[in-house]
């Protein structure tokens, strides 16, 4: 993930273009922390979230979901509940901000990526967005 502040706008870029910016166990908490950090920074007036490459965010990183043996052994209900909590706390971090949030969609926003875009106040979509 990349973040830079330009003209009081925090430009947060999901930077996993090889995975279509899928949310992983590392990216999701890092994004949540960055949203909160920028939200509390008085030099930031707004947040803009985008994705590197041709996608905004393809959703959850399905390949990584089964990589943790302990999590994979948990009952499906527990795994689904865990994913819901992760998504709710991520979108909740955006919804709870007192600053404008913008999603700039260069391409696909699917699953959790669509929820992320919808949690922003404004969405700007390129012609290639889906």
111, burial (CB in 10 Å: exposed 0-12, middle 13-18, buried 19+): middle
Residue 51, pLDDT score: 98
Angle in degrees, CA 35, 41, 46, rounded to 5: 60
Residue 8, pLDDT score: 98
Q: What's the whole-model pTM score?
A: 0.85
130 found inside a domain: no
Cβ-count burial 80-91 (b if 16+ within 10 Å, e if not)? eeeeeebbeebb
108 found inside a domain: yes
Residue 76, pLDDT score: 84
The boundaries of the domain holding residue 35 are 2-125
Count of structural domains, the chain: 1
Residue 95, pLDDT score: 92
């Amino acid at each position: 993930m990349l973040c830079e502040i330009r003209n009081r706008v925090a430009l947060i870029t999901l930077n996993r273009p090889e995975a279509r910016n899928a949310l992983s166990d590392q990216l999701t908490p890092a994004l949540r922390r960055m949203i909160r950090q920028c939200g509390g920074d008085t030099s930031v007036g707004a947040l803009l979230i985008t994705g590197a490459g041709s996608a905004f965010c393809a959703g959850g990183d399905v390949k990584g979901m089964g990589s943790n043996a302990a999590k994979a052994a948990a009952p499906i209900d527990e795994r689904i509940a865990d994913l819901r909590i992760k998504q709710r706390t991520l979108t909740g971090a955006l919804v709870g901000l007192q600053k404008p949030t913008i999603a700039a969609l260069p391409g696909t926003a699917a699953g959790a990526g669509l929820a992320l875009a919808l949690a922003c106040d404004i969405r700007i979509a390129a012609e290639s967005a889906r």
